[in-house]
Structure 1
Amino acid sequence: MPAPAPAPVSDEARRAEAERRMEERGGSRGDLNFTLEWSTTDDIDLYVTCPTGATVSYLNRGDCNGVYDLDANVLRAEAISDPVENIVFTDAPNGLYQVRAHLKSERTEGAKQVILHVLRRNGPSQSYEGMLGDGQVEWTTNISISR
């Protein structure tokens, strides 16, 4: 069972920078974005399970009005140290979203901080921090979305 949602991190400048990086790398902005960033060359994958139960990820790039449009650090030779992954929703359904960050390929030692930005076009945006590495391969949180 996933842990309860951690308290949001309040840093508008950090969210704006993540949004800039996401758009600079070809990500789309929608009614609702789940944008994951970290600062290592590790391959960390983003999964979002919608209120309908469908999961959007690199394995299923489109479902419940969501599209997985940025997949970072897949290949070691092309890995960058400031990656961002993005899942964008148009007309996002209300309800509980389960968001997971999965450490797929660990290429650096030690703990890795991940920051999830929940960007809303018509509503408050929030950011959440988690840790991966040192034996922890998955970080999960639940986000409730309502209009």
Structure 2
Amino acid sequence: MDQEGPRWLSPAEKEAWTGLVSLILLLPGRLEAPLQHEAGLTLFEYLTLSHISEAPERRLRMSELAYLANGSLSRLSNVVKRFEQRGWVRRSPDPDDGRYTLVALSDAGFGVVKGAAPTHVRSVLDVLDPLTAAEQETLARIAAKLRVRPADLG
């Protein structure tokens, strides 16, 4: 048994953690509500379409897309299945490595993401505009440090 007892957060650590948790809990709703209202998409759905639209040839491996959209492969698979049914994406084996599946954005899917993008950008700017350029750079560095990249993505 630990003689000193558990380690507790310092006041600075507690303040940092409380701020991070607030962001984690509050930001998704602030970003998702306008998308659902104006485009009928969840934030995860929009991010999924957006990341494919920005990829070379508008296609990505499912594993890379799961990382970029911050979702599990099973969650992503369900979303992509719905997108396939709507004609927004197509899945196919990766010709370079058949163990992977590629997802490609159709023209219809590109139209959906292009239509939703201004709504998303407005919401993002509402979050970022109060920050200085230096604070935005710091936020990006912190996010990169805290993000875990799955081993199969390099």
Q: Structure 2 length normalisation: TM-score?
A: 0.26
Give the TM-score normalised by structure 1.
0.27
Structure with greater helix percent: 2
Larger RCO of the pair (alpha carbons < 8 Å, separation 6+): 1
- Point out the structure with max Rg over C-alpha: 2
The structure that is strand-richer by fraction is 1
